[in-house]
Structure 1
Amino acid sequence: MSKKVLVLADVRRQKLRNVTLEMIGAATRIADGGEVGVVILGKDIKALADGLGNYGVDVSYVVDSAELEHYNPSAYRKAFMEAVRDFEPSAILMAHSAVGRDFGPVMAARLGAGQVSDIVDIEGEGDDLRFVRPIYAGKAFTKVRIKQGTTIVTVRPNNLTPAEAGVGKAGTVKELAVSFEQPDLATMVREIVEKANTGVDLTEAKVIVSGGRGVKDASGFEPLKELADLLGAAVGASRGACDAGYCDYSLQIGQTGKVVTPDLYIACGISGAIQHLAGMSSSKVIVAINKDPEAPIFQVADYGIVGDLFEVVPMLTSEFKNVLADR
């Protein structure tokens, strides 16, 4: 039975993040021949709706307002509900990001909907769809099915197959005029001051080079950064490295940091505490570099190198340079 599935686009700095295409691909599968809609909220984001029909989107809702420049649950709820009333979805997809983790429950409560958080896969077909999500720090998986009513799902980035261009749909763009009065907004975010970060976004990176306490100090991240730059990778860190002051907490990967699922994860000087494994054990290929042959990280690694990272990482960088130079 075909359905109507609505996707909340994940927007950062006036750009659609890759997880949006992953959600559109999932929405197409869930809709099973039905309609797929996308909601784009923000400021100066009208152009983002162009061409989404070619990815299989039937209708794109755009709410362009200064009040939506930064995430505000009250403003998002009012704007998103306008699209929900018009589209009447049976399922809603959001990214399992800082926004989705907060806004998903907000909308579930508002709509009286069932919610499934942090899914990494979808199994089954038609009305027998099951959403797969990790539990116990990734040691086990549950398969959840919502039997009736609206379903709200948050999707972990880098796990589902993204929609591809070439569908050929024209797609409809609807600009929604939403007014935000003071009683609607309990709080207002006027400005967000971010630390400068020109590197690859950790949560969407295909390759991550990560360091732990084994880097010894802040300068120990330099060879890791050199390797990451060569591979077009993001640099991450364990909580131990962050707590020691070797790097900023924005790089932290783990149970209390970011959860990542890259194609390649290179762990340098990371012992492999369960809290760190919870954030990266779903990576497709894991390479561990550690002087301790008994380090727990080797239990989840696909490839293990027992050695000093300050010797091994420069050797890897040199070899990668040679391989890339031959291409």
Structure 2
Amino acid sequence: MTVAEEYHVPVLLKESVDGLNIHSGGVYVDVTFGGGGHSREIYSRLDATSSLFAFDQDADAERQWQQAMEDGKVSPEGEAHPRFVFVRSNFRYLKNWMRYYGVSQIDGLLADLGVSSHHFDEQERGFSFRFDAPLDMRMNQRATLTAQDVVNDYPEERLADVLHFYGELKNARRIAAVIARKRETQVLTTTQQLADAVQELFPKERGKKELTKLFQALRIEVNHEMEALKELLTAATELLRPGGRLSVITYHSLEDRLVKNLIKSGNVEGRVEQDFFGRVTAPLEAVNNKVIIPDEDEQTRNPRSRSAKLRIAEKKR
């Protein structure tokens, strides 16, 4: 299976796929297809009795898959293969789709969270302040809520909460107040207008970093990322068969905290439950006690990987 390399450069490719411990007859899921890099690597390791389901809610990712089919590059034989299924859907609906395809248990799931390099590079999607673009930020363009809606229509207090919880901005309330004041005289419709509106609050020495946090917060809110991730992790834990693997790449502390909590306690809240003998009843156990991060060479080749952390867990037998 081959897709455009330019679309998205996969992070921690070997490490994350190795973590799945792929074996004959297994059912595997890549919930973040993107440009197909991780899916291609997983697929290359499958035998004739194994299968792969790939999820992505973005129409651009689906077009990558369709183009690969048209070019006859979906499988090593140059033909579309029934062992690979593309599902255009948010991964929060994993359990529903697995039920639809008659799958009750899976042997491994890989998630490369965050935003693909393609999204950052596509100017009109509005994910980056590198370009003057519409305030959109939707990963699924069939969705209705945009970053423009959040910036202009959310009450000031709710906007401040979004910036505080999802951007971890210490001055979230001041930023929200400035945005609320600016939008009284001008509807903020572009990334540049938003950046200009808050410029006075961001010192030059760390302005870019703070603006990145602001854009991150809006993106997470627009795409309901935290809610979707919680649902995914819960569903994945239920679907994994004993000995099955979970391989998750995170890019910021909010994502990583949920994954870490799940592995440690069996739930995303981190609520530890014990049996009669005082033993923790979490269904997963960490494969790597220390997070795996990209080496210096990968960080140089792919700047997106610099904040990446990989956690691998196995369903207890």
Q: What is the TM-score normalised by the length of structure 1?
A: 0.30
Larger radius of gyration: 1
- Name the one with the larger strand percent: 1
The structure showing larger relative contact order (alpha-carbon pairs under 8 Å, at least 6 residues apart) is 2
- Name the one with the larger helix percent: 2
